Amino acid sequence: MSATFVLDASFAALTLALAAYTILARDTFAAVVAFISYGLLLALVWVRLSAVDVALTEAAIGSGVTGALLIGAAARVGDGDASAPPGLKPLEKLVCALLCAAVSAGIAVAVLSLPAQAPTLAPLALEQLPATGLGNAVTGVLLAYRAIDTLLEAVVLVLALIGIWSFARDDHWGGRPEAPSMPEPNGALILLAQLLAPLGIIVGAHLVWAGATEPGGAFQGATILAAVWILVMVAGMIDAPPTGRRWLRFALVGGPALFLVIGVAGFVVAGAFLAYPEGYAKPLILIIEVALTLSIAIALGLLALGAPARREKP
C-alpha cells in the first residue's frame, strides 16, 4: 500500500463520512454546513483524479454558490420541527436503507467490472486540439467539439432564472430580490469585501483567460465574479439589483445570444452550426468566453438571490 493510496483512501473516507453526516444530521443548518464541507473535500478528490477543471467547478459552484443558496434557504425556513408530518416508521426506514444499499451495491458491481482496457476519447481530443489554438483539452471539448452542450447550458441558466422569477408575487415582478445583507454588517466583513472584491475580479478574469491553455474557464471565472458580487451585497455595500432593468436583461442574454449568433454564422463561413472558420477558432472562442462569463456571473448571482421580493422603489 503506497502513501498516495493511503492519502486517496483517507480523502474518500472523509468525503463519505461528511456525505453520511449531511444525510443523517438532525439539524437542517448542520446538514447544509456539512454539505458545503463535503463539496470542498470532493473537490480535493477531483484534484487527485487529475481533473483540476472539475475540481475548480465543484469547489466554486457545487460547494460555494450552492452552499450560499442553501444556507440562505435554511435560515429562512428553519427546521420546522413543530409542524413536521409524522416521519417513516423504523421498519419502513430499514426497508428504504436496504433498497438504497442495493442501488449502491449494483453501481459498485458495475464499477468493479469495468473493462480492463478503458475506452477513451483523449487521443482524439488532443489530435484535433491544435486546430482550435487551445491548450486545454477540456476547454476544447466545452467550446469546440461539444459547443452545443455549453450553449444549451448557458440557456438553462437563463431558463432557471425565468422560472425562479415567476415565483414572485405579481406586484413584485421586475422588483428587487431580498437583499442578502447582514442586518448590521460589522467592520471586518466590510473590510473583507473591500479587500476581496478587486482581488476576486482579477482571479476571475485570470481563470477565464488561463482556461484556454490551463485549468480554468468561463464557468469557473464567472463563479468567482458572482461570489464577489454576493459578498459585496452581504456586506451591505450595494443593494440587490432591480430585475426589471433593461441593462440587466441584456447582460443576462448577451453571452448566450452572441454564442448563438457565432454558431449560426458557422453555417455560412464554415459549413456547419457552431463550426469555426479555420484560423479564427481561438479568437472566436475567447470572444464567446468573455461574453459568456459576464452573462453567467450575473445569472449565477441572481439565481442565488432568488425571486424578486419587493418593489423597485421601497
Partner 1 sequence: MNSVTLAGLAGAAMVGLGLFGLITHPHLLRKIVSFNVMGGGVFLLFGAIARRGDAAGIGADPVPQALVITGIVVAFSATALAVALLLRLDREIGRPFFPAKELAGPSEKDGAT
Minimum CB distance to partner 1, residue 268 (Å)? 27
Minimum CB distance to partner 1, residue 152 (Å)? 9
Minimum CB distance to partner 1, residue 218 (Å)? 10
Nearer to partner 1, 9 or 202 (CB): 9
Minimum CB distance to partner 1, residue 191 (Å)? 29
**Nearest residue to 219 (alpha-carbon basis) of 283, 304, 157:** 157
Minimum CB distance to partner 1, residue 232 (Å)? 20
Nearer to partner 1, 110 or 188 (CB): 110
Nearer to partner 1, 190 or 310 (CB): 310
- Identify the sign of the CA torsion 198, 202, 205, 207: negative
Minimum CB distance to partner 1, residue 54 (Å)? 5
Minimum CB distance to partner 1, residue 276 (Å)? 17
**Is 258:288 a contact under the CB 8 Å cutoff?**
yes
Minimum CB distance to partner 1, residue 51 (Å)? 5
Nearer to partner 1, 194 or 303 (CB): 303
Nearer to partner 1, 59 or 262 (CB): 59
86 vs 84: CA distance, rounded Å: 6
**Nearest residue to 172 (alpha-carbon basis) of 101, 228, 240, 221:** 240
Nearer to partner 1, 100 or 199 (CB): 100
Minimum CB distance to partner 1, residue 290 (Å)? 18
Nearer to partner 1, 54 or 224 (CB): 54
Cα separations in angstroms, 119 against 49, 115, 123, 198, 303: 17, 8, 11, 44, 37
Nearer to partner 1, 78 or 198 (CB): 78
Cα separations in angstroms, 96 against 44, 92, 108: 31, 6, 18
Instruction: Write out the DSSP string of 76-94.
Output: HH----TTPPP---HHHHH
Count of residues in the chain:
314
Nearer to partner 1, 167 or 267 (CB): 167
150 vs 293: CA distance, rounded Å: 12
